[in-house]
Amino acid sequence: MALWMFLNQALAGAFMPEQGTQIAKEVDNLYGFLLVVSFISCAILIGGMIYFAIKYKRKSQSDKTPYITHDTRLEILWSVIPLIIFLVVFAWGWTIYHDMRAMPENALEIHVTGKQWAWTVEYKNGVKSTDLVVPVNKDIKIILASEDVIHSFYVPSFRIKQDAVPGRYTTLWFRAEKMGEFYAFCTEFCGTNHSGMVARVKVVTQEEFDKWLVDESEIGLLPLAQRGAKYFQTRACASCHNVDNAAVKVGPSLFKKFGTEGVFGDGSVSKFDENYVRQSILEPQAKIVKGFPKPSPMPSYQGQLSESELSALIEYIKGLK
Amino acid sequence: MSTSRIVNGVEVATHYKDDTHQYLSNKEGIWLFMATEILMFGGLFIGYIIYHTMYPEMFAEGAKYLDWKLGFVNTLVLIFSSFTMALGIYFNQKNQPKKAVMALGATVLCGAIFMVIKYFEYTHKFHLGIYPGQMLNLEMVKPVHQNLGLYFGFYFCMSGLHGLHVLIGMCLITWVMIRNIRGDFHSNYYTPIEGVGIFWHIIDLIWIFLFPLLYLVG
Amino acid sequence: MSHAVAGKNYLNESSGLWSWLTTLDHKRIGIMYFVSVMFFFLIGGIMALLLRLELFSSNAQEGISFLSSLPNVIKGDANPADLYNRIMTYHGAIMVFMVIVPGIPAILGNFFLPLQIGAKDVAFPRLNLLSWYCLMAGAIMAFATLFLNKVDTGWTFYTPYSIRTGASVVLMVLAVFIMGMSSILTGLNFIVTVHKLRCPGMTMYRIPLFVWALYSTAIIQVLATPILAITLLLLAMERVFGIGIFDPKLGGDPVLFQHFFWFYSHPAVYIMILPAMGVISELMTTFTKKTIFGYTAIAYSSLGIAAVSFFVWGHHLFVSGQSEVAGIVFSFLTMLVGVPTAIKMFNWLATMYRGSIEFTAPMLYALGFLFLFAIGGVTGIMLAVVPVDVHFHDTYFVVAHFHYVMVGGTLMSIMGGFYYWFPKMFGKMYNMTMAIWSWVFIFIGFNVTFFPQFILGAKGMPRRYFDYIPEYEQLNRISTIGSWLIATGFVIGLIAMIRAITKGEKAPDNPWGGKTLEWTTSTPPPHDNFTNEPTVTAGPYEYK
C-alpha cells in the first residue's frame, strides 16, 4: 500500500498539472493506477523481450530450436488477465465519468461562447469578460456555445474538456478547490489563431467574486477609451493585434498607428482615421494592409457591435501611443 | 504482360487453372465491388434515417413536392429493365447473341426513359425554386419548415448519385452490347455481361429503397 | 507464356519506362508503389521537421517564429500561424493517405502475398495497376492544392471549419476519395487472391501470418472505405452547393461528420497496423529460427481486431457532446481491442523463448516494434478510459500515442519488412552495419521525439498548436532534437539502400533461412514467380 501511494505520487504527480478540483484528484488516482499497471506490463513485455534476446542469442548457424506450436493454458492466461484488468479500469472509469457528467443542482451557471479566436464569458447579470472568474468551492456549470466553428474548452488543472459545437449547447461543471490562475485552452482546431485562443480561469473567494461582478457591471459608466480597452479584450481583437509594440501578431500592430498613412495590397494609400478603423472592423476584406494575406483571416464584426461599442474601440485605438 | 491461353474456348489468364476458376474469381470480385457500392449508399441512408428522426415533419413536407406517380413509373421502368437485363444474360448462356443484343438494347432504353423522367422532375423543381440546402428559394417555395433545403439536400444527393450510377450502367451495358454484336460472348464466356448485370440489379435495388424513402415518406 | 529462362527475372525481362508503366506484374507494381510511397514519405517527413523546428521555441508570437523567417519564395504572404496549420494538414494527409495506408499492403503485400501463397499473380492484375494509377491521380490532385489555396483543415477535415475555410477543400477531398478507391481495389484484389489462388495444399490454416494480416486488412479496406467515400462526397457537395447536411446553419449536424469520418478512419487505423503485425510475425519466426507460437491465435486475433474495429469509432468523440451512454459503450468496446492485441504481443514474446535469435537489421526493427508498440498499446488503453481521455483528448498525449502506434508500430515494421525482403526484391544484399546504425538512430530518435510528448500532453499542451505557453518549452526542445536524430537515421538508411542497389553483392535465394514460399524461388523471382507450381504439405513455419 505504501509503495502504491509512493508510485502514485511519484508518477501521476510528476506529469500532471496542478489538481484544482476533486475530480482532478480522482482522475489522477485512476491515471496513477493505469501508469503502474502499464509500467508492469511494459516491464514484462519489454523486459522479457530483452531477457530472451540476450539469453537465446544465436550461437551458431546450426542451432536447434524446440518445436512449440502453442500452449492453450498460457494463451488463455494472457487473454483473461488483460481482460480482467481492462474490465476493472473500465468500471472505475465509468464511475468517475458519471460524476463528471452529472450536472449539480443549484450551480452557478455561466455562459461561455467560442468564437474565432477567443472565448467570451457571460454572467447572469450581463457582465462580459474574456477570463473566467469563479468563486472557490462552489459548483459552476458552464454552458458552452459557438458562433462559428467547433471549439473545445479545456482547463488542464481541472481535468475537464468539452467541445463547443455551433447550433447547440453543451455543458460541463466543476468545483474549484484551489485559488489562483489556471489556463483554459481551445483544443479543437479552429483555424489561424487556434493556439492563441487561451483564456485564464481565475479562482477567487466569494467576496472577491461578488465585488468583481459589481465592478465589471459598472463598466458602462467608464470613460469611452477605457471601455474600448475592455472591448478590445472581450471581442478578441487582442489575440491578433499588438497594442504596446510594433511587432506583427496575426494582423498588423495598432501601436502608434492612428493618424498615419496606410499602404494597402493594391498599392492604394489611405489615412488611418476613424472611418478606416470602422470599415476594417465591419468589412475586414475591404482594405488589407500591404504584406498581409488576402483574404484576411479576420472575421467581420458587422451586426455584432453597437455604435457605442464601435466608438469606444476607435477611441481606445486613437489613444495607443 | 500477363500472358494467357485458351481453355474451353475462353481466354484464361496464366494465373488461373481454367475457365471456371477464372469465372468464379471474377464473379467474387464483382460481388465485393457491389458490397462497396451498397455501403457507400448505406452511408447516405444512415444520414437520411438520422435526420428523418430529427425532423419527421420536414421530410413529410418535402415529399409533398415530389410527384409519386413519376417516381412510381420510374420504379416500374427499372424493374422491367432488370428483367430484360436478366434475359440478356440468359440468351448468352443459351448461345442466342441476337436475342441477347435486343434484350440489352431494351435495358439501355429503359435506363434512358428513367433518366428523361428524372430530367423533367429536376427541371420542374428548379422552376419552382427548389434547390438543395441554402440554395432553396425560400421566397418562392415558402416552406413551413425553414430547413426544408436539408430534405432537398438529401433528395438531390441520393437521387443524383443514383442517377449517375444509372448513366454509368447504361454506358457499361452499351459496351457489353457492342461486344455481344462482335460475338465475344458464348455459353462458356459471358462474365462481363453478368458483371454489368449484377451492377444493374444493385442499382435497381437501391432505387427500390430510394423511391419510398423520398416520395412516399409523407 | 513466358518461361523462367536462366538469367531472366521480373526486373530484367523487359526494360524501359513504358514497360514499367504498363506492367501487370504484381512485383513490378509493388516496386512502383515503393518508389512513389518513398517519395511521399520524404515530403511528409520534411514537413514534420519543419513543424518541429517551429515548435523549438515558444516565442513565435513575438516574431521569432522559425516559419516567419523562411524566405518569401517559400512562405508567400501567409502569416506563420497559417503556414504552420497548412504544413500540419499536409503532413497528416500525406502520411496517412499516401504513406501508411498504402505502405505495407501495396508495397510488401503486392510483392509477397502471391509469392507466399504460391500464386503466379494477384487475381486482377489490371485492377492492381489501376489502383496504382488511382493513388498517383489522387496524389497529383492533392499536391495541386498546394498551388491553389493550400488546405488548412487538418487531415480530419472537421466541419464546419472545412465548410467555411477559404482553402481548396473540394479538390483535396476528391483526391482522398480517389486514393480511397485505390485502397478499395487493393483490398478487393487481395481477398479474391487469398480465396481463389492458393497453390495446391495451401489451406487457409497453412497461409503465412502476413497473408492472414493482409486478408483481415483487405476486409476492412473493402467495408470501411466506401463510408469515407460518401462522407467526402457529401463534404464536397456541402462546399459546392451548401446542401446543409453538416452545416448547423441549415439544420445539419457538424458532429455527424465526425461520426461518419471516424467510422472509416478508426478501422483505417487497423488498415495501417494489421499488416505491420503480419510482418512482425514473419520476422519473429525467421530470426528466432523457431515456429511461431500460437498460429491460430494470431490469425484469429487479426480477424477479431478487424471485426471490433468497426464499433469503436465513438472513442474519438468522448468530448464532442455525445451521450454518456454512448461514451461508456464505446469505452468498453475499445477496451476489447486490447485483448487480441495483447494476445499477439505475448505470442511473439513466446516465440522468442528458447529460439536462436539473430540480430540482423530486420530483427532489430521487429524488437523495436515490440518495444514501441507495447508503449503505444498501454497508452491506448489509458485513452480508452473516458475520464482520463477527457483530460488527454486532443493534447500531445494523443499525438504521442498515435505516433508510437503508427510510426513506432507501422513504420518500424515497414522498415523491418523492407530489410527482410530487400534481397528477394532487388537481388542484392545491403551493408548490414549501415542498416543497423540507421536503426539505432531511428529508434533512439523516435523515443527522444515522442516520449516527451506524452508528458507534454499530460501537462495539458493541446495538439495542432502553432505556439504554446513557455512552460512547455523544454520538453518541446528535446522533442525537436529527437526529430533530427530520426532524420539522420533515415538518411543513413537511404544511403545504405542506394549503395545496395547500385553496387551490392548478389543475394542468395534464401539469405535468412526463411521457410515461407517466397524463399523457395530464385532471387529475384521470375515473371511467373515459380518455375514449377509449388505444392504445400505442412504449415508455413516448420523449423524442426
Residue A23 cell numbers, joined:
475530480
Q: Cβ of C81 and A193 within 8 Å?
A: yes
Is C in contact with B (3 or more beta carbon pairs below 8 Å)?
yes
Instruction: Report which secondary-structure segment, H or E, holds A174.
Output: strand A170-175
d(CA A239, nearest CA chain C) in Å = 10
Q: Is the CB of A165 less than 8 angstroms away from the CB of C255?
A: yes
Separation between Cα atoms, residue B129 and residue C315, nearest integer Å: 42
Which domain does B160 fall in, by range?
A: 26-215
User: Measured between CA atoms, how close is A70 to chain C, in angstroms?
Assistant: 5
Secondary structure percentages of chain B, helix, strand, coil, to 5: 80, 5, 15
Question: Which residues lie below 8 Å from residue A80, measured CB to CB, with a gap of 6+?
Answer: none
Task: Please give the Cα distance from A189 to A195 (Å, whole number).
Answer: 8
Amino acid C204: pLDDT:
92
Q: pLDDT tens across A137-177, in order?
A: 999 999 999 998 999 999 999 999 999 999 889 999 999 99
CB contacts < 8 A, B to C, total 147
Q: Which residue of chain B has the CA closest to C529? A: B15
Long-range contacts of B83-90 (CB under 8 A, 24+ apart): B84/B110, B85/B173, B85/B196, B85/B197, B85/B200, B85/B201, B86/B197, B86/B201, B88/B180, B88/B193, B88/B197, B89/B190, B89/B193, B89/B194, B89/B197
| β-pair type (A108-115, A118-122) | antiparallel
Any domain includes B208:
yes
ipTM for the whole complex = 0.91
Pick the residue from chain A with its C-alpha nearest to C61. Answer: A249
Indicate which of A97, A117, A142 best probes the interface with C, i.e. most C CBs within 10 Å of its own CB.
A97
- Which residue from C124, C196, C222 is facing B35, i.e. has the nearest CB? C222
DSSP character string of B26-43: HHHHHHHHHHHHHHHHHH
Q: Evaluate whether C282 touches C516 at the Cβ level (below 8 Å).
A: yes
- CATH code where residue B185 lies: 1.20.120.80
Sign of CA dihedral C310, C316, C318, C321: negative
Report how far residue B86's alpha carbon sits from residue B95's, in angstroms, rounded to the nearest whole number.
14
Give every strand in the sheet of A132-135, ordered side by side.
A132-135, A199-204, A180-186, A151-155, A160-164
Beta carbons of A235 and A117 less than 8 angstroms apart: no
All structural domains of chain C, each given as residue ranges with its CATH number in brackets, are: 17-519 (1.20.210.10)
Cell numbers representing residue A306 in the block: 453597437
Residue B151 lies inside a defined structural domain of this protein = yes
What are the structural domain ranges in chain A?
Answer: 2-47+69-101, 108-218, 223-318
Q: Which residues pair with A129 in a beta bridge?
A: A121
Q: Which residue in C246, C257, C334, C390 has the most chain A C-beta atoms within 10 A of its own C-beta, making it the best mutation to test that interface? A: C390
* CA nearest to C99, candidates C43, C39, C37: C37
Separation in Å, CA C386 to CA A160, A251, C245: 11, 39, 29
Q: What are phi and psi of C332, to 5 degrees?
A: -60, -50
pLDDT at B63: 87
C321 touches chain B (CB under 8 A): no
Is residue B41 one of the residues assigned to a domain?
Answer: yes
- Per-residue CA distances from C277 to A302, C28, C48, C212, C290 (Å): 55, 24, 25, 10, 18
| Interchain proximity C121–B3, CB inside 8 Å | no
Task: Give Cα separations from C262 to B66, C152, C156 (angstroms).
Answer: 34, 19, 9
H-type helices in chain A, by residue range?
Answer: 2-15, 22-42, 48-55, 72-101, 206-217, 224-234, 274-282, 307-318
Neighbouring chains of C at 3+ CB pairs under 8 Å are A, B
Partners of C374 on chain A (C-beta within 8 Å) are 41-42, 45-46
Per CB distance under 8 Å, which residues of B are interface residues toward C? Answer: 1-3, 5, 13-16, 21, 24-26, 28-29, 32-33, 35-37, 39-44, 47, 50-51, 54-55, 58, 131-135, 146-147, 149-150, 153-154, 156-157, 161
Instruction: Tell which wins on pLDDT, B59 or A305.
Output: B59
In tens digits, chain B (218 residues) has pLDDT values of 457 888 888 888 888 888 899 999 999 999 999 999 999 999 999 999 999 998 888 888 888 888 888 999 999 999 999 999 999 999 998 888 889 999 999 999 999 999 999 999 999 988 888 888 888 778 887 888 888 888 899 999 999 999 999 999 999 999 999 998 888 888 888 899 999 999 999 999 999 999 998 888 76
Overall domain count for chain B = 1
DSSP line for A280-309: HHH-TTSSPBTTS-SS-SPPP-TTTS-HHH
- Side-chain half-sphere of A97: how many Cα atoms within 13 Å? 28
Q: Does C206 touch chain A (CB under 8 A)?
A: no
Asked if residue B54 is part of any domain, the answer here is yes
Residue A183: beta bridge partners? Answer: A200
- Spatial CA neighbour of A152 closest among C258, C264, C449, C402: C258
C-alpha B8/C-alpha C85 separation (Å) is 61
Spatial separation of the C-alpha atoms in residues C437 and C483, rounded to whole Å: 16
Chain A interface mutation, best of C300, C391, C453, C474, highest count of A Cβ atoms under 10 Å: C391
Residues of chain C with pLDDT under 50: 1-4
What integer pLDDT is reported at residue C4 of this predicted model? 46
Q: How many helices (H) and strands (E) does chain A have?
A: 8, 12
B13 occurs within a structural domain: no
Contact in structure between C116 and C214 (CB atoms under 8 Å): no
Reported as a single tens digit per residue, the pLDDT across C347-393 is: 999 999 999 999 999 999 999 999 999 999 999 999 999 999 999 99
The alpha helices in C197-208, defined as continuous H runs, are: none
Neighbours of C273 (CB within 10 A): 24
Question: Is residue C187 within 8 Å of C215, Cβ to Cβ?
Answer: no
CA distances from C91 to B126, C45, C84, C441 (A): 42, 7, 10, 22
**In this complex, is the C-beta atom of C353 within 8 Å of any C-beta atom belonging to chain A?**
yes
- Which three cell numbers mark C543? 523449423
Q: Are C460 and C472 in contact (CB under 8 A)?
A: no
pLDDT the model gives residue C2: 41
CATH number for A223-318 (one of 3.90.1150.10, 1.10.760.10, 1.10.579.10, 2.60.40.10): it is: 1.10.760.10
Architecture of the A108-218 domain:
Sandwich (2.60)
B135 with C222: Cβ contact below 8 A: no
